Amino acid sequence: MKTIRFGLFIFILGVLVMGAKQSSVIEDYADIQYVKGQIAKLAPVEIAVDPSLLNENDKAVLAKLVEAAKLMDEIFLRQVYSRNVAIREALQQGSNPDYPTLLTYFTINFGPFDRLNHDEPFINLKHKKPGGANFYPEDMTREEFEAWIQAHPEDEEAFTSNFTIIRREGDRLVAIPYSRAYREFLEPAARLLKEAAALAQNPSLKKYLNSRAEAFLSNDYFQSDMDWMDLKDHKIEVVIGPYEVYEDALLGYKASFEAFITIVDPEESAKLRKVNQYLQDMELHLPIPDKYKNLHRGSTSPIVVVQEVFTGGDTKAGIQTTAFNLPNDERVREAKGSKKVMLKNVAHAKYDKCWIPIVNIVLDPKDLQRVSFDAYFNHVLMHEMSHGLGPGTITVNGRKTTVNKELKETYSTIEECKADILGVYNLAYMVEKGVFPKEMKAQAYSSYLGGIFRSVRFGINEAHGGANAIAFNYLMEKGGFEYNPQTRKFRVNDAKVEGAIRDLAHDLLMIQATGDYEGAKRFIQKYRYLSPEMQDALNRLKDVPVDIRPVYTIEQWLSK
């Protein structure tokens, strides 16, 4: 009897200790109705793949890639915030009836910070998101980082690398390669990629998967990026690894892990390849002096239209990606250009669930008649094309450097704004070249105006949302867009919009061409805000989904 009582005492003590640990991890949280409302802003959409399009070998390859993509989830979770693993564990094991809802939104955001509300915490409300996420010590400032490099110039390459994290060792700052920092996930991911490569029947896919597996272990991603650019005649389009630097809001150096697993749509891809032959023309057409144009960058620039199957890591967090333009390594871009991948099933889902309801509320009837899915989708295409245009490797005060390194934490916002406005500028140019029908020029302007309201809802502290707020306010100032206070609708001024777009493209490109960090900060400070008219429009959109929430059916049929 004593033994039983003692055992019961130990059990109760364990429960109390576990509860105390959980309560210390979860200090407080936002009103649960608010959290449920935020979840409701993301419309669930089934992202399906037709199994009949794939043979048994394809399915076996995809199964390995999905498992590898899930490991990217685990790495990115740790890149976002140092306490993420502990918070997730507390939410999973706690008995609080609100925890399952909190866990759902935590999973969507990859952490306790609300990506739909300027990264405000919804768990542990006193803890703000560190500017450098978990790439740097939370107490490290930009000034300390820069002072360290100035005092230790031999560390600059490692410290500014996209593929290291910075940590303290005593009084020193040290750079740790991703291959070591995330070894427990990268080693099994590398094994899965090699197993997928062994199954793959396409030689170029086999080569890429093997070289990317090696990159996970060596921390050198150059060759595998080159091999990804050389994928051809492939059914499965996959990219996996560290790419975008949006999460590093402190310095804009560190790349987040992500994965896209997709199936190529050869018919749609063929339709868009005709844009490729005009890549050099678009570079020459940029509204900046010729000395700043990048006329030596690789011009292969393949365009692939795909159906998304599964994603992992950074791209899954919060707002979903419609298209991407990779790689970001300027050495690869100069040798081979970059690849534009268009996620057509995702684009259609966003258009139907979010975009159409928005434009019906905010656009003037004249502009509403001109919107179309083709204009929307082709602007996304030209946005991705435009990421590969303009300054990349630049010279500042005699130093050879890159736009990314010079603009630091401002880079993502300036680059997204550049790509967006050049997307419209180049789409109009392609109409002039006869690539797209004549009516698409007006459609592009009206469709772009309507799309701004969708993107600003992501939050203006996020790169895409902030970029759209900047463009909107600049074009309103120049008269390219107008507001009717009687109808509370927005419209395009056809006489002024083209010149306003050209001016904005020029200003952004010159900031990049000169590596003007202070100019970038001033530009963002001046134009990244919510005007009363914009805020009124956003208030009227409160019942429209902000974005989609993918439900991947591949997990269901792979488990059968």
Among 199-203, 274-278, 366-370, 520-524, which stretch is predicted with the lowest mean pLDDT?
274-278
Q: What is the pLDDT of residue 22?
A: 53
- Residue 464, domain member (yes or no): yes
The predicted-structure confidence for 227-280, as pLDDT tens digits, reads as follows: 999 999 999 999 999 999 999 999 999 999 999 999 998 888 887 778 888 989
Task: Using the predicted structure, report yes or no on whether residue 5 has a pLDDT greater than 80.
Answer: no
By the 8 A CB rule, do 211 and 223 touch?
yes
- Residue 344, domain member (yes or no): yes
Task: Using the predicted structure, report yes or no on whether residue 17 has a pLDDT greater than 70.
Answer: no
Q: pLDDT category, 303, cuts 50, 70, 90?
A: confident
Backbone phi and psi for residue 244, each to the nearest 5 degrees, phi listed first: -75, 150
Q: What is the pLDDT of residue 24?
A: 83
Once rounded to an integer, what is the mean pLDDT over residues 3-15?
Answer: 49
- Residue 188, domain member (yes or no): yes
Q: What is the percent of the chain with per-residue pLDDT over 90, rounded to a whole number?
A: 82
Here the contacts of 537-543 (C-beta below 8 Å, separation 24 or greater) are: 537/361, 537/362, 537/453, 537/488, 537/490, 538/453, 538/456, 538/457, 540/361, 540/362, 540/488, 541/357, 541/358, 541/361, 541/362, 541/453, 541/457
How many domains in the chain?
Answer: 1
Nearest to 259 by CA among 469, 37, 75, 29: 75
Q: What is the percent of the chain with per-residue pLDDT over 70, rounded to a whole number?
A: 95
Nearest to 193 by CA among 243, 239, 244, 226: 239
341 against 459, higher pLDDT? 341
Task: Using the predicted structure, report yes or no on whether residue 182 has a pLDDT greater than 60.
Answer: yes
Q: What is the pLDDT of residue 148?
A: 98
- Residue 126, domain member (yes or no): no
Q: What is the pLDDT of residue 293?
A: 92
424 against 24, higher pLDDT? 424
Distance CA 320, CA 380 (A): 13
Angle at 322 between CA 377 and CA 347, to 5 degrees: 50
Q: pLDDT category, 430, cuts 50, 70, 90?
A: very high
Q: Which residues contact 460 (CB under 8 A, 6 or more apart)?
A: 118, 466, 469, 528, 529, 530
Q: What is the pLDDT of residue 53?
A: 77
Q: What is the pLDDT of residue 384?
A: 84
- Residue 40, domain member (yes or no): no
Here the contacts of 112-116 (C-beta below 8 Å, separation 24 or greater) are: 112/81, 112/83, 112/84, 112/87, 113/80, 113/81, 114/38, 115/317, 115/318, 115/319, 115/458, 115/459, 115/462, 116/38, 116/41, 116/318, 116/457, 116/458, 116/459, 116/546
Once rounded to an integer, what is the mean pLDDT over residues 158-172?
Answer: 97
Task: Using the predicted structure, report yes or no on whether residue 409 has a pLDDT greater than 50.
Answer: yes
pTM of this prediction exceeds 0.85: no
Distance CA 319, CA 325 (A): 17
Task: Using the predicted structure, report yes or no on whether residue 448 has a pLDDT greater than 80.
Answer: yes
The predicted-structure confidence for 46-95, as pLDDT tens digits, reads as follows: 998 777 778 889 999 999 999 999 999 999 999 999 999 999 999 999 99
Among 82-91, 456-465, 551-560, which stretch is predicted with the lowest mean pLDDT?
551-560
Q: What is the pLDDT of residue 381?
A: 86
Mean pLDDT estimate for the chain: 92
* CATH number of the structural domain spanning residue 485: 3.30.540.30
Q: pLDDT category, 560, cuts 50, 70, 90?
A: low
- Residue 66, domain member (yes or no): no
By the 8 A CB rule, do 393 and 402 touch?
yes
Nearest to 433 by CA among 421, 442, 422, 441: 441
The predicted-structure confidence for 184-230, as pLDDT tens digits, reads as follows: 999 999 999 999 999 999 999 999 999 999 999 999 999 999 999 99
Report DSSP state, residue 544.
S
Distance CA 140, CA 131 (A): 10
- Residue 228, domain member (yes or no): yes
- Residue 10, domain member (yes or no): no
Nearest to 311 by CA among 502, 471, 108: 108
Task: Using the predicted structure, report yes or no on whether residue 11 has a pLDDT greater than 80.
Answer: no
Q: Domain of 530?
A: 181-558
The b/e string for 99-113 (b: 16+ C-beta within 10 A; e otherwise) is: bebbbebbebbbbbb
Q: Which residues contact 530 (CB under 8 A, 6 or more apart)?
A: 456, 460, 469, 538
